[in-house]
Amino acid sequence: MERYSQIKNKIKREIVLLKSAPCIWSKCTFCDYIEDNSTCKEEIIHINNEVLEKVTGEYGILEVIDSASIFELPQETLKKIKTIIEEKKIHTLFVESHWLYHSRIHEIRDYFGIKVIVKIGVETFDDEFRNGVLNKNAHFSSVKELKKYFDSPCLMVGIQGQTKEMIDNDMNILQTYFEYGTISIYRNNSTIIKRDNQLVCWFLDKYSYLIDDPRYDFLYDPTDFGVGD
């Protein structure tokens, strides 16, 4: 499992994939990466310390992800991140959280005290597909409400059952309302949710300009950030 990498093609930054306690939700139908979650706090702290020691501060920007939310990291790891931020003169931090923590996002911004870009796995703005099919349990009422807490939606493309209209709407919302975002092409994994290759081909053709947009990260494969397995 690779846990440290650098992203050089869009916003240049270091990225660490940390280990965390189990995701608060753990029930998304397409997710099997929660298998990286652990209930052993000592193991989590040890692994995370090792990974965080690799951060150099080269770009002044750090992204911290885990197979859950930032809130599932132990206090010891949050403290270590804060120490690294100070030592390596990091000015911007990317983190990720589930919608269930929306009312606590301000705690993270306050704790680190630097610019924090908070990502959220929206997957799609189609409420029925997001919550009914993907079982995301992210029930925000509007883009405006989402933006009160989060800066950067992660969108998934190419899932069986998704339609071109849904994806057009998602890409429209992304470009209209967000300065940050991630577009991920769905890759089959151990879950029952499957990829729609025709939809992927259509997307790659129609939205090739978006793939190169410096504002948005694009993951053709979940490991394209250089972390994970």
Q: Which residues bind ligand SF4 (CB under 6 A)?
A: 23, 25-28, 31, 34, 67-68, 98, 121
Quick one: 23 or 133, whose CB is closer to ligand SF4? 23
What is d(CA 175, CA 77) in angstroms, rounded to the nearest whole number?
34
Quick one: 5 or 67, whose CB is closer to ligand SF4? 67
Q: DSSP string spanning 23-54?
A: PSS---TT--GGGG--S-HHHHHHHHHHHHTT
Residue 10 near residue 219, CB atoms below 8 Å: no
Minimum distance from residue 123 beta carbon to ligand SF4 (Å): 8
Please state, in angstroms and as integers, the Cα–Cα distance from residue 24 to each residue in 21, 127, 137, 185, following that order.
9, 20, 11, 24
If one counts every other C-beta atom within 10 angstroms of the C-beta of residue 99, the result is 21
What is d(CA 183, CA 204) in angstroms, rounded to the nearest whole number?
11
Quick one: 99 or 216, whose CB is closer to ligand SF4? 99
Quick one: 67 or 182, whose CB is closer to ligand SF4? 67
Minimum distance from residue 140 beta carbon to ligand SF4 (Å): 14
- Cβ partners under 8 Å of residue 195, min gap 6: 158, 159, 160, 186, 187, 188
Minimum distance from residue 190 beta carbon to ligand SF4 (Å): 12
Minimum distance from residue 32 beta carbon to ligand SF4 (Å): 8
What is d(CA 155, CA 59) in angstroms, rounded to the nearest whole number?
25
Minimum distance from residue 108 beta carbon to ligand SF4 (Å): 16
Quick one: 85 or 136, whose CB is closer to ligand SF4? 136
